[in-house]
Amino acid sequence: MSSEQRDTCFVRFDEGLCTGCASCLRVCPTKAIRIRSKKSIRIVNQCIGCGECIRACPARAVRAATSDLKILGNNHVAVALVSPVLYAQFPGIMPKDVLHGLRQMGFQHTIDMSYFLEMFQLATEEFIKRNRETRNAPWPLISPVCPVVVRLIAFQFPSLMPHVLPVLRPVALMAREIKRRIIPFYMETGEDVVLYYINPCPTKMDPACLEKDKQPAIPEFALGINDIYPELAGHVRRIRESDAIPFYQTRFEYETCATGNASMWAMSGGEIADMDIEKSLAVSGIEETITYLQKIEMGLFQDIEYIEFRTCREGCLGGVLNVVDKYLAKSAVQKMIKTVGLGRRLPREKILRLYEKGDFQTENRPSQLLSLFGGQKEGLSIESMQKVEKLLEVIEGRDCAACGAPDCRTFAEDVVRGNASMKDCLYVHVQTKKKNKKPSAG
Amino acid sequence: MTGLKKSFYIKARDFNRAGEASISVQNFLKSMNFDPKLIRRIAICGYEGEMNAVMHGGDASLSIEIDSDKLVLEISDDGKGIEDIELAMQAGYSTAADEHREMGFGAGMGLPNMKKNSDQIDVQSQKGQGTQVRMTFLINQGGQAT
């Protein structure tokens, strides 16, 4: 991604709606966005898909690179992979009704994450238990669940990659199960299967971004919760109003949700709450996440075994593609847990046998991630850095972002790299004007 | 060619903001695509030194000087100084006040950690005269990855 482009694998910019206000520049954690003349947005650094630009844009000119709902329902078996955050958008409604609503919308299968979250939980506990003796991995281990966190580490904190827990993420376990069981089922009937990830954030990469040989064999699309909400809410309302007693028939056991565990994962702290770990911590919010990663890099928190990070405040229910406000959603989750309770369903011994076989471990991911998201910008040499420092003395700026870069340092680095001109700086412009005026006034 | 030099100010007893100078150094070195492992060692040393200055020093400064083959990290304060440097370099030796220990600091690992993570360390101090800790990190050819 060294060449400039307008869209990223996660977000799209509408230049017609953009007012050039620079709100997105300031919130981008990887300083990826620039505004060139005439409000034209350019992406120059790694986009990690956090969605902060979507949240910040007052003109609604940024949106997630999700797919159009219209593609649903034509000549294929649609499988919905449901983020448990979806349930939090329906206060007082049981997850099974929400999943049934999805099936009425045209998804043949609705995969709930509970089983896979539980598998992940057991595998994580086991890894940590063993690591207490072997110390193969450094403390604190970092949760791999939020993909934005993992990309952020690959891009900005590569020295922390060994801290990322090498266990397959719940969503990867879910996708694997579908490939093992649902797809072979339809291979026999000759029907095409398409996977739809239903997400609270723009985290799922647009498959078009992947290189041709890395593209998934089964077509995958991402849908934002806000994309499906209006239609789904209608179905859910009708299900609730109907007098029929709901005995839903599903083909696979994980197509329904039975415990409150999955819902709990929508909240910050929900991942570690029920995990058997001696010392763990939950951190949420992009700024907070960066602060903690900086501290880990400086050698802190080595007495903590596991840290759950979510770049959205309050956890996934703070995701930018949700419909219900995060605090209301949180209250809905808490109420649901009171109603249905928590509990595990999977036989521990069986999971441990699979763990022994290496069914949950992942090793190639870090190198893959580093090649996709690792620091790809050109490093500045000592001479260039000296030039940057000199320019900063000339600018004496206030990080106004009028130049189209997020702050003065980034701007100076852009100038030294040859990607921006000092003429774009407002302070320099005003000062030159004053200087030029003086002789004529005198 | 003269090296690139940059200094950061550290305020005495400001525990809330301790670590900010080291973070600035981290970010600075990341712009220059330094080897992540080297950045981490420098980050650990910077933080330990910064904490020492915040706890024991008066106002202090943290500076880096980068040459093509080495980086020097220096933390100087005008605080109370170290009476016995050899003793201070021993793991677990600490003169931190109880209030600092209650905050989780002052375990006596600061200087030993700095020694462990740097290629060379030089501590200059006299009682009542402040302390200068100078750490050198060697930059291998290609250590500054492009």
pLDDT tens profile B39-73: 999 999 999 999 888 888 778 999 999 998 999 99
Pairing status of strand A280-284 against strand A306-310: parallel
* Token pair 């979507």: residue: A54
Residue A389, chain B, CB below 8 Å: the answer is: yes
Q: What's the CA gap between A159 and B32, in Å, rounded?
A: 15
| Facing residue for A158 by CB, picked from B3, B36, B44 | B36
> CATH 3.30.70.20 in chain A, residues?
1-63
**A268 three-class SS:** coil
Q: Within the 262-301 window of chain A, which residues sit less than 8 Å (CB to CB) from chain B?
A: 294-295, 297-300
pLDDT tens column, B10-45: 988 888 888 999 999 999 999 999 999 999 999 999
Domain B4-138 superfamily per CATH: Histidine kinase-like ATPase, C-terminal domain (3.30.565.10)
Number of C-alpha atoms within 13 angstroms, CB side, residue A334? 9
What is residue B145's predicted lDDT score, i.e. its pLDDT? 42
Picking from A297, A300, A371, A390 by the largest number of B CB atoms within 10 A of its own CB, the best residue to mutate is A297
DSSP A130: H
Cβ contact B39–A378 (<8 Å): no
- Work out the number of other CB atoms within 10 angstroms of the CB of residue A252: 17
Read off the pTM.
0.92
442 residues of chain A, pLDDT tens digit each? 345 677 888 999 998 899 989 999 999 999 999 998 777 788 888 899 999 999 999 999 999 998 888 777 668 899 999 999 999 999 989 898 999 999 999 999 999 998 999 999 999 999 999 999 999 899 999 999 999 999 999 999 999 999 999 999 999 999 999 989 888 888 888 888 999 999 999 988 887 777 766 777 788 899 999 999 999 999 999 998 887 766 677 777 777 776 778 889 999 999 999 898 989 999 999 999 999 999 999 999 999 999 999 999 999 999 999 999 999 999 999 998 888 888 888 889 999 999 999 999 887 667 777 777 776 677 899 999 999 999 999 887 889 999 999 999 999 999 999 999 999 998 888 888 888 776 654 4
Q: Is B145 on the interface with A (CB under 8 A)?
A: yes
Looking at domain A1-63, which of 3.30.70.20, 1.20.1440.230, 3.40.980.10, 3.50.50.60 is its CATH number? 3.30.70.20
Q: Which CATH class is domain A382-442?
A: mainly alpha
Alpha-carbon dihedral angle through residues A410, A414, A420, A426, given to the nearest 10 degrees: 20
Chain B nearest-CA distance from A9, in A, is 24
B29, B40, B41, B103: best to mutate for the A interface, most A CBs within 10 A: B40
| Dihedrals phi, psi of A211, to nearest 5 degrees | -65, 155
The answer to whether the beta carbons of residues A307 and A265 sit under 8 Å apart is no
Q: Are B43 and B19 in contact (CB under 8 A)?
A: no
Contacts of A159 (CB under 8 A, 6+ apart): A297, B36, B37, B39, B40
**What are the Cα distances from residue A239, in Å, to A104, A109, A249, A254, B139?**
10, 17, 15, 21, 67
Note which residues in 77-96 of chain B have CB less than 8 A from chain A: none
> Residues of CATH 1.10.15 domain(s) within chain A?
382-442
- φ, ψ (nearest 5 deg) of residue A396: 45, 40
